Amino acid sequence: MARVQFDHVYKRFNKTEVVHDISLDIQDKEFLVLVGPSGCGKSTCLRMVAGLEEPTEGDIYIGDRIVNGVDPKDRDIAMVFQNYALYPHMTVFDNMAFGLKLRHFPKADIKKRVEDTAATLGLENLLKRKPKELSGGQRQRVALGRAIVREAQVFLMDEPLSNLDAKLRVETRANIIKLHQNIQKTVIYVTHDQVEAMTMGDRIAVLNGGIIQQLGAPQELYDH
Ligand code: ADP
Ligand code: ADP
């Protein structure tokens, strides 16, 4: 079970408050989109779930556990960033295996997980290649694979489509939706793009100036 909860969360950098009293209950397996203009606090919210920032006040739960102060690698999360940076000198296999090696998974287990994940994403014939020998779309699938291979319960995605051209954006958006349907994990997805929010989210939280202005399913937000 991987509910994610914000319980009266505040974040201040020095004296500047960028997140103000956010309470939000994200259900197990939900696809929740955090949308809003640049600088409204979306990334900061995501980074607090990841453990890359700590709340100034309030608690964050993953499952039944308060994770304040818990090291990022001990939270059951995987993160996908905007730039999809892969390690250029490593093969696709090694890129995908990296996080598992870091966590000392047994070698046979790593091989099986990487191969299964590669098959899910249509990468099974590319495992020996280096990133520079892949197309842009293939590279993105490797980056997604690197996140899902760990079988984390919660996926955190920060503008994962923002550096892509229009065609790849459409393709990758569809990939992410399909992936969510297949793996049935909780996703928190940050974007400033309202179309992305409306087409991808089970629910959308509209953030402005560090507060949640609206929260609901896409249809409910349209009706307002
Ligand atoms: P968004 O993701 O919505 O663009 P962010 O969460 O990245 O917004 O940033 C919200 C505000 O917090 C911005 O004004 C940003 O400059 C500020 N901010 C973010 N991280 C830091 C930091 N580490 N130190 C100081 N200010 C920060
Ligand atoms: P995003 O595009 O996701 O909003 P940014 O480019 O705003 O990210 O920020 C990149 C990094 O810089 C993040 O780690 C963020 O926390 C940090 N950051 C953002 N604004 C500030 C700031 N005013 N002072 C210090 N760090 C900041």
Give nearest CA residue, ligand 1 atom 14.
Answer: 39
Q: What pLDDT score does 55 carry?
A: 98
Quote the pTM value. 0.84
ipTM confidence:
0.69
Ligand 2, residue 43: give the atom nearest the CA: 3
Q: Which residue has the higher pLDDT, 11 or 81?
A: 11
Q: What pLDDT score does 215 carry?
A: 97
Q: What is the pLDDT of residues 123-157, one digit of tens each?
A: 999 999 999 999 888 888 898 888 888 878 899 99
Q: What is the pLDDT of residues 8-49, one digit of tens each?
A: 999 999 999 999 999 999 999 999 999 999 999 999 999 999
Distance 154 CA to ligand 1 centre (A): 22
Q: What is the pLDDT of residues 212-221, one digit of tens each?
A: 999 999 999 8
Q: What pLDDT score does 82 carry?
A: 67
Mutate to test the pocket of ligand 1, among 14, 20, 44, 208 (most ligand atoms within 8 A of CB): 44
Of 31-40, 88-97, 180-189, the least confident:
180-189
Give nearest CA residue, ligand 2 atom 9.
Answer: 43
Distance 10 CA to ligand 2 centre (A): 17
Mutate to test the pocket of ligand 2, among 12, 17, 35, 43 (most ligand atoms within 8 A of CB): 43
Q: What is the 3-state secondary structure (H, E, C) of the chain?
A: CCCEEEEEEEEEECCEEEEEEEEEEECCCCEEEEECCCCCCHHHHHHHHHCCCCCCEEEEEECCEECCCCCHHHCCEEEECCCCCCCCCCCHHHHHHHHHHHCCCCHHHHHHHHHHHHHHCCCCCCCCCCHHHCCHHHHHHHHHHHHHCCCCCEEEEECCCCCCCHHHHHHHHHHHHHHHHHHCCEEEEEECCHHHHHHHCCEEEEEECCEEEEEECHHHHHCC
Distance 184 CA to ligand 2 centre (A): 30
Q: Is the pLDDT of residue 223 over 70?
A: no
Residue ranges around ligand 1 (CB below 6 Å) = 13, 18, 36, 38-44
Residue ranges around ligand 2 (CB below 6 Å) = 43, 158
